[in-house]
């Protein structure tokens, strides 16, 4: 078994190398806001399939998608309603994942035929640089096998997932802590599917009393 290529997020050539691996259909461990994630280009279906296999993730479970900016939303989702833009303005870049109606052009591998897609703009500098260089959204699910704790260290992520092609390390480290909060935006208001780094109360304060906020919480230990 080949060892993953080790890359530094502080080296622009290494960030470019990670982007080329992703563009060519590879799988890379990348730093996000709080945890390390396992990434593949959303436009590389075989690579997205590898992410599922490496993580041993159930196929019915969607993988979240990381964008470089909110202006990339139309690539994958229908135009968001006003309440979604309130949340975007307050929490992006950051640890909020929005579940929106998927565009007809959204790749099947990131929607799993559910008609929706989970999107986030991360706040981590290295991850944002990678997304900007790549010019494509990436799947960004936590770098661990399903059911195991997520990794906040590059070395631990690489040990747990040796079948990836490369590891892009954030030399300043990631903060650890809770994963992103997941909010689904629907016709009847919004639903907090998983409370993570952003509290339900903080979300209520942003959307205001006129918007119904429901809770349908997954277990707190659920990874990204």
Q: What pLDDT, in 10s, does the model give residues 28-63?
A: 999 988 789 999 999 999 999 999 999 999 888 889
> What CATH number corresponds to the domain at position 174?
3.90.870.10
pLDDT at 222: 43
In a domain? residue 203:
yes
Integer Cα distance of 173 and 36 in angstroms = 10
Domain total for the chain?
1
pLDDT at 223: 45
Asked whether the predicted pLDDT for residue 188 surpasses 90, the reply is: no
- Quick: pLDDT tens for 61-114: 889 999 999 999 999 999 999 999 999 999 999 999 999 999 999 998 899 878
In a domain? residue 223:
no
In a domain? residue 222:
no
Integer Cα distance of 102 and 108 in angstroms = 10
In a domain? residue 198:
yes
Contact between 86 and 206 under an 8 Å Cβ cutoff? The reply is: yes
Closest CA to 175 of 196, 147, 202: 196
Integer Cα distance of 210 and 12 in angstroms = 46
pLDDT at 1: 56
The lowest-confidence range among 43-57, 121-135, 208-222 is 208-222
In a domain? residue 204:
yes
In a domain? residue 177:
yes
Q: What percent of the chain has pLDDT over 70?
A: 96
In a domain? residue 159:
yes
What separation in angstroms does the CA of 173 have from each of 31, 57, 116? 8, 26, 32
Residues with Cβ within 8 Å of 83's Cβ and at least 6 positions away in sequence, in order, are 185, 189, 190, 207, 211
Integer Cα distance of 150 and 119 in angstroms = 19
pLDDT band at 217, cuts 50/70/90? low
Provide the residue range defining the domain that includes 58.
5-215
In a domain? residue 221:
no
């Amino acid at each position: 078994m080949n060892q993953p290529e080790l890359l530094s997020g502080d080296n622009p050539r290494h960030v470019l190398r990670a982007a080329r691996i992703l563009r060519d259909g590879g799988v890379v461990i990348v730093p996000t806001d709080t945890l390390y994630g396992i990434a593949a280009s959303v436009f590389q279906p075989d690579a997205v399939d590898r992410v599922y296999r490496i993580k041993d993730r159930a196929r019915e479970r969607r993988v979240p998608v990381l964008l470089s900016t909110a202006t990339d939303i139309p690539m994958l989702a229908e135009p968001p309603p006003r309440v979604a833009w309130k949340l975007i303005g307050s929490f992006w870049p950051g640890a909020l994942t929005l579940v929106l109606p998927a565009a007809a052009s959204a790749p099947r591998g990131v929607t799993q035929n559910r008609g929706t897609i989970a999107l986030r703009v991360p706040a981590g500098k290295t991850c944002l640089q990678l997304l900007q260089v790549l010019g494509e959204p990436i799947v960004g699910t936590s770098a661990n096998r399903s059911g195991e704790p997520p990794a906040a260290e590059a070395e631990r992520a690489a040990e747990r997932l040796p079948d990836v092609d490369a590891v892009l390390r954030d030399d300043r480290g990631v903060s650890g802590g809770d994963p992103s909060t997941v909010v689904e935006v629907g016709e009847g208001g919004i639903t907090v599917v998983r409370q993570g780094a952003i509290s339900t109360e903080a979300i209520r304060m942003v959307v205001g009393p006129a918007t119904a906020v429901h809770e349908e919480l997954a277990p707190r230990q659920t990874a990204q």
